Structure 1
Amino acid sequence: MGALPRDAVVREWAMPESVPVRCPACRRAHRYTAPSYPCPCGAPVAPPLDPDAVPVPVGHRAWREEWVAVRCGRCGRDGEWPRPELGCPCGTVLRIPVAGPRTAAPAAPAGRPAFRSVPVRPARDAVTAAVLYLRRLGHEDVRRADRRLPAGIGLTGPGVLALVDPSARPATPRDVECLWLTAMTESVRCLYFSLAGYAEDARARADALDVPLFLLGPAGVPRPVNGPAEALDADAA
């Protein structure tokens, strides 16, 4: 797994837990459960929450502040996962405080890593699902691409460039071509992840350019929708 952001804090692995949360804007009470994410070793990893700290409303967003490092108690791997957040019905988004390091759970027998998914709701969940799938394909050092793509969010790693398109419209042939051209200039392979799917002519163009297309459904499992994606998915099974 790649280098962690310098401002990320390493937390030990913990099972999902719940804490009471009160919105400072409307005073509405909530119960928040920390989401768990799959480590490449197959163990679920969740950030430990601080029940005594006050949640902070999210205003300006910065990419480097969106992640927290959590250490897996099974294999000791440090992974980057989205910082815990809660959306209040009043419209306020609250960042849930993470607790300090704690004792890791006893190690369990290691089995073959299995792909686990996360539900896809906002764009950040789509990015997380794509990162997890890329890691399943063997791309451990995945980060946000420095170069802006015409549509969506770019993810890059050694030898790979992926586009996560969270828009409500199906991808067009131009979207596919722009991703392919960018990947060609960097001499890497590319993948396209879309929440809304692809126009028929976009699929045809992707087939001609050998660009794997994946559909991100509500369950967060990338589903191959063309020949190049099916071949890639079969190789990773």
Structure 2
Amino acid sequence: MTESVPVRCPACRRERLYAAPSYPCVCGASVAPRLDQRGTPTAVTHRVWDEEWAAVRCGACGRRDQWPYPELGCPCGTVLRIPVAGPDASSAPAAGNTAVGTPRRRAFQPVTTRTARDAVTAAAVYLRWLGYRDIRRADRRPSSGIGIAARGLLAQVDPTIRPASLRDVECLWLTAMTETADCVYFSLAGYTPDARTRADALGVPLFVLDLTGAPQPVNSHADELDATGAR
């Protein structure tokens, strides 16, 4: 079970209990960052991609991955970043989740999507589940949304309420071509009809992220990627 620690907001001095979320390791175990009870939460005033992630080591298989840094929203409006106990500190696997005998393609565990940051996290968790490695911020900023990259893959996450357009899909595909990489698109609001037609012709997998954080394939290329994983 994930530990809970008292967290005091530096802005309003209100105190709340916080438990870090757990994430699925590729071995099938659930892992969560071990919180530093002696550390001091800090207010998030601006976002820097490299500061959004913490290195967490799985207690079951020893694998180290990057997961979203623990954060808590205070009722006063302050977003707090919760300190963790060292760059490789991790909790033990949750009860009932063991890596022994677990196949790589276990059931996908989605991440609830409420914000743009959640959408990026959900896409990153899904790509890890598919078997992609070295997930990071894309070198080039896309024309819309947020770009993330993995080894041999370029992904675009569009957290807006506007359906992705034909131009959005073409720009992603062209950027991926220049980097000799595959590409995949995640959208919260879906796609225009001509965007779907163009994606089918270019071989771009399209997914819609629902509020549960579970990517839903919307074309045959996405169905194939979901079934086979990273190649």
**TM-score using structure 2 length:** 0.89
1:205–1:102: structure 2 CA closer, same or farther, 3 Å change rule?
Answer: closer
Which residue of 2 is the match for residue 112 of structure 1?
A: 103
Which residue of 1 is the match for residue 79 of structure 2?
A: 93
Other structure's SS at 2:173 match: helix
Shift of 1:108: 5.2
Which residue of 2 is the match for residue 55 of structure 1?
A: 41
2:115 partner letter = P
**C-alpha distance in 2, partners of 1:61/1:136?**
26
Q: What is the count of residue pairs matched by the alignment? A: 223
**C-alpha distance in 2, partners of 1:154/1:28?**
36
Which one of 88, 102, 123 corresponds to residue 130 of structure 1?
123
Which residue of 2 is the match for residue 80 of structure 1?
A: 66
1:213 partner letter = L
Which one of 56, 72, 78 corresponds to residue 70 of structure 1?
56
1:51–1:217: structure 2 CA closer, same or farther, 3 Å change rule?
Answer: same
**C-alpha distance in 1, partners of 2:209/2:81?**
25
**C-alpha distance in 2, partners of 1:65/1:154?**
16
Q: Is the 8 A contact 2:33 2:90 kept in 1?
A: no
Shift of 1:135: 2.0
* Structure 2 segments unaligned to the other structure (5+ residues): none
More displaced stretch, 152-161 vs 99-108: 99-108
Which residue of 1 is the match for residue 22 of structure 2?
A: 36
**C-alpha distance in 2, partners of 1:230/1:223?**
9
**C-alpha distance in 1, partners of 2:149/2:2?**
29
**C-alpha distance in 1, partners of 2:213/2:153?**
21
**C-alpha distance in 2, partners of 1:17/1:219?**
23
Q: Which runs of 4+ in 1 moved over 3 A?
A: 100-108
1:4-31 CA-to-partner distances (Å, cap 9, x unmatched) read xxxxxxxxxxx42211222221233322
Q: Is the 8 A contact 2:207 2:222 kept in 1?
A: yes
More displaced stretch, 51-60 vs 180-189: 51-60
Which residue of 1 is the match for residue 217 of structure 2?
A: 224
Percent identity of paired positions between Structure 1 and Structure 2:
65
Shift of 1:112: 1.1
* Structure 1 segments unaligned to the other structure (5+ residues): 1-14
Which residue of 1 is the match for residue 3 of structure 2?
A: 17
Which residue of 2 is the match for residue 186 of structure 1?
A: 179
**C-alpha distance in 2, partners of 1:231/1:68?**
31
Q: Is the 8 A contact 2:31 2:90 kept in 1?
A: no
1:36–1:103: structure 2 CA closer, same or farther, 3 Å change rule?
Answer: closer
**C-alpha distance in 1, partners of 2:227/2:36?**
41
1:128-173 CA-to-partner distances (Å, cap 9, x unmatched) read 2211222222211221111111111111222211101111211111
1:30–1:177: structure 2 CA closer, same or farther, 3 Å change rule?
Answer: same
**TM-score using structure 1 length:** 0.87
Other structure's SS at 1:181 match: helix
Q: Is the 8 A contact 1:84 1:97 kept in 2?
A: yes
More displaced stretch, 157-166 vs 133-142: 133-142
1:27 partner letter = R
Shift of 1:199: 1.6
Q: Is the 8 A contact 1:41 1:110 kept in 2?
A: no
**C-alpha distance in 1, partners of 2:114/2:101?**
31
Which residue of 1 is the match for residue 132 of structure 2?
A: 139
Which one of 153, 160, 174 corresponds to residue 160 of structure 1?
153
